[in-house]
Amino acid sequence: NQKLVDDNEEILTKQQIMDSIQLGVKYEMEKRTQPVPDSFPDDFKDISMKMFYNWSDINNNNIQDFSYSTYAPSTFHYLRHLFGIGENDYFTTFCKSPLHEMSNPGASKSILYLTSNDKFIMKTVQHNEYISLLGLLHRYTTYMNENRDSLLPKVSGFYNFQCKSTDIKLVSMKNLLPSDIKIHQKFDLKGATIGRKASDNERKKKSPTFQDLDFNYEFHHKGIFLKPDTRLAFLKTIEKDCEILKDFNIMDYSILLGVHYIDSDLQADENTSTNEALRKAATDRWESLMADSVGEKSIQAKAWTLSDKNHASLSGSIPAKSVYGDRLLLFVGFIDILKPFGILQNQEYRLKSFKLKVTPGATETADSIYIQPPVFYASRFLKYMTDTVFRPMLSPQELEKLSQQ
């Protein structure tokens, strides 16, 4: 149990932070008994704060006093409703069982917590990300309301935990990856190349998150193949989401891509015993979405919303093929969308490009640096998704030929 030491040399354990988050969410959720606001919320600037003096955790151990604030409670109530998250479900998920810390493959110091049913992730955010979410909340809510098929993260809560000199801002969001079906590969993709490779440490993990260079050279050197109309609809959604992120002056976001191999024998490991019914539902979904030849719009609506009643984890997944003809189901969404391009990022970008210019024999150009002004970031991102990652389907013969190149 790693310890965080604050300025007063008081020790705050990670366990206490997790317990306090739980108590904070529980208190706020118990207070919210009113029905979903039927008009568009306007409490974007409201904060509901509670001091916890002399409380004990759910195991009855004393914990240090802390305060817990919930930002824009009605707005997030409204957003949860929009994302199909029931209040009871949210309450039970956060309040009835403990959170677990996820190991973060990222370079930032953010901590990610996973709820024990794997449905939600709670992530600590940096100060500039917190400021940007406060400023963008109104526009984010409007956008998500008008674009139900958006792939942007489904942010379900925004909080602040304070204890002595520790001050942590947190967001909760839906976990993009299902837990009952095996995800054989996981990629965090941005369209940059410099440094975009999973570290040796990451590779040793049970379920590593790979990056752009691993995708391009090790796993999918010809990309992943989607039915043309599905692909167009899908890329259009990504384009629209990139457009709004550009307007928000945001960069450094990724697409998280989880790949499930339908026909793999490696279905089950000791934790995920993908059951037969789910396996059949996945195959059915793949076949019916692949066979469907209705217009672009309805495919889009279908792929996003076709929910298998008994297999909620499959909804939103997209059928595809690898260059070797493997049948795949893809789980896709944007993550890490809160980093604004400010003075610091501009300086870092300039410094990195300057270093590249003066490095003798450098083969990369400034365009390959991950940090970029939002306009260029968005266009490079979209180009990478279109030209390299999500490719139009080919016939089995063409695929076979391509796989040998």
154/391 with CB nearer ligand ATP: 154
SS3 (DSSP) at 368: helix
Q: Which does 175 bind (CB under 5 to 8 A by kind): Ca ion, ligand ATP, none?
A: ligand ATP
Q: Which does 177 bind (CB under 5 to 8 A by kind): Ca ion, ligand ATP, none?
A: ligand ATP
The residue count for binding Ca ion (CB under 5 A) is 3
Determine the residue type at 142.
T
Q: Which does 282 bind (CB under 5 to 8 A by kind): ligand ATP, Ca ion, none?
A: none
- Minimal distance in Å, beta carbon 187 to ligand ATP? 9
Measured between alpha carbons, how far is 88 from 94 in angstroms, rounded to an integer? 10
Measured between alpha carbons, how far is 390 from 239 in angstroms, rounded to an integer? 13
- Position of tokens 């260079």? 213
Strand boundaries in 294-394, DSSP class E: 318-321, 327-335, 390-392
385 Cα distance to chain centroid: 17
104/274 with CB nearer Ca ion: 104
> What does the block give as tokens for 347?
């300086």
- Minimal distance in Å, beta carbon 253 to ligand ATP? 8
Looking at residues 282 to 341 of the shown chain, list those that interact with Ca ion (rule: CB under 5 A).
336
- Minimal distance in Å, beta carbon 273 to ligand ATP? 21
- Minimal distance in Å, beta carbon 122 to ligand ATP? 10
Beta bridge partners of 340: 250
Measured between alpha carbons, how far is 317 from 295 in angstroms, rounded to an integer? 18
Torsion of CA 113, 115, 121, 126, to 10 degrees: -30
Contact status: 212 vs Ca ion (CB under 5 A):
no
227/380 with CB nearer ligand ATP: 380
Q: Which does 105 bind (CB under 5 to 8 A by kind): Ca ion, ligand ATP, none?
A: ligand ATP
Residues near 271 by beta carbon (within 8 Å), at least 6 away in sequence: none
41/153 with CB nearer ligand ATP: 153
- The H or E element containing residue 316 is none
Residues near 37 by beta carbon (within 8 Å), at least 6 away in sequence: 74, 77, 78
Contact by Cβ (8 Å): 330, 321? no
Q: Which does 112 bind (CB under 5 to 8 A by kind): ligand ATP, Ca ion, none?
A: ligand ATP
Choices 1-9, 108-116, 148-156, 159-167 (CB under 5 A): range interacting with Ca ion: 108-116
- Minimal distance in Å, beta carbon 149 to ligand ATP? 17
106/373 with CB nearer Ca ion: 106
Measured between alpha carbons, how far is 132 from 134 in angstroms, rounded to an integer? 5
- Minimal distance in Å, beta carbon 246 to ligand ATP? 19
- Minimal distance in Å, beta carbon 247 to ligand ATP? 21
Q: Which does 373 bind (CB under 5 to 8 A by kind): Ca ion, ligand ATP, none?
A: none
Q: Which does 104 bind (CB under 5 to 8 A by kind): Ca ion, ligand ATP, none?
A: ligand ATP
Nearest CA-CA partner of 258 in 94, 363, 118: 118
What is the dihedral sign for C-alpha 225, 231, 232, 235? Answer: negative
109/309 with CB nearer ligand ATP: 109
SS3 (DSSP) at 16: helix
What distances in angstroms separate CA 110 from CA 113, 145, 154, 339, 393, one per listed residue?
A: 10, 28, 18, 12, 38
| Position closest to ligand ATP via CB | 106
**Binding residues for ligand ATP, per CB under 6 A?**
104-108, 110, 112, 121, 153, 173, 175-177, 188, 209, 256, 335-336
| Position closest to Ca ion via CB | 336
Q: Which does 374 bind (CB under 5 to 8 A by kind): ligand ATP, Ca ion, none?
A: none
Looking at residues 87 to 106 of the shown chain, list those that interact with Ca ion (rule: CB under 5 A).
106
Q: Edge to edge, what strands does the sheet with 66-71 contain? A: 47-52, 66-71, 155-163, 166-174, 120-125, 112-115, 99-102
Q: Which does 176 bind (CB under 5 to 8 A by kind): ligand ATP, Ca ion, none?
A: ligand ATP
Binding site for Ca ion (CB under 5 A): 106, 108, 336
